[in-house]
Amino acid sequence: MSVTHAIEADDSMFGGLLRQDPELAEILLAESRRQSTTLQLIAAENFTSPAVLAALGSPLANKYAEGYPGARHHGGCEIVDVAERLAVERARDLFGAEHANVQCHSGSSAVLAAYAALLRPGDTVLALGLSHGGHLTHGSPANFSGRWFDFVGYGVDAETGLVDHDQVRTLARTHRPKAIVCGSIAYPRHLDHAFFREVADEVGAYLVADAAHPIGLVAGGAAPSPVPYADIVCATTHKVLRGPRGGMILCRGELAERVDRAVFPFTQGGAQMHTVAAKAVAFGEASTPAFAAYARQVVANARALAAHLAAEGLVVTTGGTDTHLITADPAPLGVDGRTARGRLAAAGIVLDCCALPHADVRGLRLGTAALTTQGMREGEMRTVAALLAGVVRGALDPAAVREDVRELAGRFPPYPG
């Protein structure tokens, strides 16, 4: 099929864009085709529902709405106020939180606002070190966090790969941080929030849970919630949670005003009301039994994939996973993570490299949120692991596997019809 024919077939999805701007329409179509013919194993990605996409593409995108419902700096906000109140109410119900701020433009903006609400520049913060799975906003020198705050990093145990609780306690007692951050871009296990709360209380620190990754599992009841333990929970809405690209903050009522002021006007301007509306849609979807079943299947698929990858010879960090996320060292197959990612890209298997704690070489980070949304289950995880390992060790030709991948993905279209 020529590109043009394909565009015509998909034209409805892009609302007549082909006729007005064929150049851009072709780009949208190419990306949509890439997503539906390759395997999305990037742990932070997912497929939003058509309902979420509809809200994102709605005229709410036109509305300026600085401030909060009932107290805006712009006129004409009476309808979008209802949308934001609905999003906040759904988020509070879904996570059992006293307060929710749904305006954060991203996960990083949520963390920035959390720090702004609780800290002053120069304060000491204890967080998972970047080479052990901390996020940029947990003290990277290239990020505002590392520039404006004094970060101390804790790590994971060299043997078990699990967070070193003794080290967390010792560093907290030594450095007396103003805040402790728990949360990671790569940690495959549940965090012990009660432990972090206990240490924070002992040294008089705030506890910030950066639950950007697991918040969708929390919504579906497939992971323990940080909400009862943390002073502030930061999250994204676009990872396992399957909503629009964006962030949010959950907190106790007594911090509500500080958090809201830290988001607007301190770190952001006008809210993006189309995204806020799409978050409301996603929270509604995430409160259904179907989403709880999805969250359970995401974890079941990750456990199956981790076991098959281990059987294929990769070294799976912590020996498995509790979540949607797996990190693994492909070294026993003869290559490092960077080389493996390149070979896999040629086969249409899309994933990330990541730092491996206590190692010089990079590993692989992958997740099952997107494949599970497509309807894949444990049986497909076995196939994915076999294709992945075959390509990585050089036993399978990436070009041939690309066809297997196309066939597999074709049986599980992310947007059927």
Interface ranges with ligand PLP (CB under 6 A): 44, 106-108, 111, 135, 137, 183-185, 210, 212-213, 236, 247
Nearest distance from C-beta of residue 44 to ligand PLP, angstroms: 5
Nearest distance from C-beta of residue 403 to ligand PLP, angstroms: 32
- Report the residue number, 14 or 196, with the smaller CB distance to ligand PLP: 196
Task: Show the tokens assigned to 391.
Answer: 């390509």
Amino acid letter, 138:
H
Active site residue 406: no
Active site residue 66: yes
- Report the residue number, 14 or 264, with the smaller CB distance to ligand PLP: 264
Q: Is the dihedral of CA 216, 221, 226, 228 positive or negative?
A: positive
Nearest distance from C-beta of residue 166 to ligand PLP, angstroms: 23
- Report the residue number, 161 or 390, with the smaller CB distance to ligand PLP: 161
Q: Which residues contact 328 (CB under 8 A, 6 or more apart)?
A: 306, 309, 310, 314, 315, 316, 317, 363, 364, 366
Active site residue 31: no
* Per-residue buried b or exposed e for 74-103, using 16+ beta carbons within 10 Å of the residue's own CB: eeebeebbebbebbbebbbebbebebbbbb
Nearest distance from C-beta of residue 210 to ligand PLP, angstroms: 4
Nearest CA among 176, 244, 161, 246 for reference residue 212: 246
Find the catalytic residue in 11, 33, 37, 64: 64
- Report the residue number, 134 or 390, with the smaller CB distance to ligand PLP: 134
- Report the residue number, 183 or 330, with the smaller CB distance to ligand PLP: 183
- Cα separation, 107 vs 187, in Å, equals 17
| Residue whose C-beta lies closest to ligand PLP | 107
Q: Which residues contact 251 (CB under 8 A, 6 or more apart)?
A: 97, 98, 99, 101, 231, 232, 233, 259
Nearest distance from C-beta of residue 287 to ligand PLP, angstroms: 22
Find the catalytic residue in 66, 150, 157, 164: 66
Find the catalytic residue in 63, 90, 197, 239: 239
Find the catalytic residue in 137, 236, 327, 373: 236
What single-letter DSSP state applies at residue 192?
A: -
Cite the active site residues.
Answer: 64, 66, 210, 236, 239, 245
